[in-house]
Structure 1
Amino acid sequence: MTEAKLIKYLQIPRKPLTGTQHLTPIIISDSKGTYLREQVIHPIDKNIHWRCKSGTTIQDQLKWLKTNINNKIQQVGDISVYIWSGTCNLTTRDKNGYISITSTNDDTIQLILDKFHECIDTIKKYPRSKITILEIPPYSIIKYNQKIASNINSKKQNNHKDSNKNHSDLVTQSDIIDKYSEQETQLQQQIVKVNEGIKYLNSTLGTKSPCFSIHLQSRRQRSRGKVNRLRNT
């Protein structure tokens, strides 16, 4: 799921809520949360507290939660925590900005799920608060690295005074596909496994995460249906 699709999901029109708010929502995330925070348009979403920082792992977020939960509850009252993490554990960024899969076995998957469990145990100490683990959206190593390669190539070309020079050191889009195709498949498999673990953890809490890809696909299908009906009238 792309950033644009996530933003569209956040901006779906919703009916106004009624009743009294008993829990203050807090979203703890990496750059995914940052992108969404910048796109908030609904008045009710202005009440969300965001703890989002690019590049943070689940270990970083667990540490923040343990350190700050007491003060946060004292400040805003009982809370509903949403942990949206794992992306920066599954893949690692190198000095040039390219990402690659962190581990080809299930070690990283187990680490992520163990830390999610610790987050849950931390919140359970506060019975009137709650926690939900959000599923990891599918993302592409190939598409991400193709974008990085394109940016690097542009900088190299701009730095050459002779525009006719043959840039043999440029990385092509096909180079990225050849290098990362196997990792792409492994990443998607790991995301599925992590999300299966998240579903189980949430089921023990009586809650669930939105399945972003399915919800977005359903919405696109409904939109296409409306367009087709208009065309046929």
Structure 2
Amino acid sequence: MTEHKLLKYLAKPFVIPAGVKQLTPVVFTDSKGKYLERYCRNSVENSIKWWNQSGRSSSQALVWLKQNLEYKIGHLDNIALYVWFGTCDLTIYDKNSRYINLRTETDDSIQTIVNNYQEIADLLKSYPGCKLRFLETPPYSVSLWNSYQKHPDVQQFKNDDDILLKQIKALNNHIRYMNDTLGTRTPNLSADIHHRINTSNKNSLNIARNQYNFNLYKDGIHPSKNLAKVWLKKITQQIKTDCW
């Protein structure tokens, strides 16, 4: 997608639902949520509760949820929980250098996320009045984040980008399957930065990182203003269906 297409999507009207909200929408995520929350404007967007925590992995999210879910539901009543992690599971952040690295080249991180999500699903079974949705993990770039942090040699991370994007694709396949078991589907956020490449051109390398327009990101991980607004609008459309 291009900046123009993002603006075209944002120009489409959002219809505020009629009737009374039945569930309180909660987006449970890492720092990605902060970039969307700041653009909440209409009544549906403003009804969203944001459980954001920078650097939070799915394992940390599971621990937090076990400790706080009962109290939160008691306070908010029935909720629709939108679980959105993966970034801090697939890569490791160094607080000193501010660089990130691929956690592993194997599928171990993917399996950890899937196992944690399944435990979250099991937790929510005790609250039949609530709904659970898993949001897909958007593609992101190790090399671009490290470039943003002024790493002197970002070329060394290009192969990590390709491995990471394959991991994200595999993870999102698992997420779609889990949503299918819940009788739902959630927005394909990867589609908003995907663009076609000319595979007939012999000079074109058909590699994973060339399939995404990371110029729509602020820093290789977090969405820029218009992309954040598009993701917020897509998630809010889902919330409108689930909660009204």
- TM-score per shorter chain, which class? 0.7 to 0.9
Number of the residue aligned with 1:176:
154
**Counterpart for residue 213 of structure 2:** none
Q: Please report how far the alpha carbon of residue 214 of structure 1 lies from its aligned counterpart in structure 2 after TM superposition.
A: 2.2
Runs of 4+ in 1 over 2 A off after TM superposition: 5-13, 213-218
Cα distance in structure 2, aligned partners of 1:31 and 1:101: 18
Secondary structure of the residue aligned to 1:149 is coil
1:136 aligned onto 2:137: yes
- Structure 2: any 5+ residue segments left out of the alignment? 196-226, 228-244
If the length of structure 2 is used for normalisation, what is the TM-score?
A: 0.73
How many pairs are equivalent? Answer: 193
Q: Secondary structure at the match of 1:56?
A: coil
Relative to structure 1, the CA distance from residue 195 to residue 55 in structure 2 (aligned partners, 3 Å threshold; closer, same or farther) is same
Query: Is the Cα–Cα contact under 8 Å of residues 11 and 41 in structure 1 kept in the other structure?
Result: no
Q: Distance in 1 between matches of 2:51 and 2:58?
A: 13
Alignment of 1:110-189 (within 5 A): 110-149=111-150, 171=152, 175-177=153-155, 179-189=156-166
User: Residues of 1 paired with 2:106 and 2:53: CA distance?
Assistant: 27
> Corresponding residue for 2:106?
105
- Please state how far the C-alpha of 1:63 moved relative to its aligned partner: 1.4
Q: Per chain length, whose mean CA-contact separation is higher, i.e. which structure has more relative contact order (CA < 8 Å, sep 6+)?
A: 2
- TM-score where L is the length of structure 1: 0.76
Change beyond 3 A, Cα 1:12–1:33: farther
User: Structure 1 residue 44: deviation in Å?
Assistant: 1.6
**Shift, 1:119, TM fit:** 0.6
Residues 172-210 of structure 1: per-residue CA shift (max 9 Å, x gap):
xxx202x10110100000000100000000000011120
Instruction: Provide the residue aligned with 1:199 in structure 2.
Output: 176
Work out whether 1:209 is the aligned partner of 2:186: yes
CA RMSD of aligned residues (A): 2.6
State the alpha-carbon separation in 1 of the partners of residues 74 and 185 from structure 2: 26
Distance in 2, Cα, partners of 1:148 & 1:88:
17
CA–CA distance in structure 2, aligned partners of residues 99 and 7 of structure 1: 31
Greater shift, 40-49 or 103-112, is seen at 40-49
Question: Which structure shows the higher helix fraction?
Answer: 1
Q: Relative to 1, partners in 2 of residues 1:129 and 1:10: Cα closer, same or farther, differing over 3 Å?
A: farther
Report SS of the residue matched to 2:21: coil
Q: CA deviation at 1:6?
A: 9.1
Q: Cα offset for 1:139?
A: 0.6
Q: CA deviation at 1:142?
A: 1.2
Q: Which residue of structure 1 aligns with residue 236 of structure 2?
A: none
* Deviations, residues 136-163 of structure 1 (Å, cap 9, x unaligned): 001111111111017xxxxxxxxxxxxx
Q: Which runs of 5+ in 1 are unaligned?
A: 151-170, 221-233
Higher Rg: 1
Deviation at 1:43, TM superposition (A): 2.0
Q: Distance in 2 between matches of 1:125 and 1:39?
A: 33
2:219 — aligned with what?
Answer: none
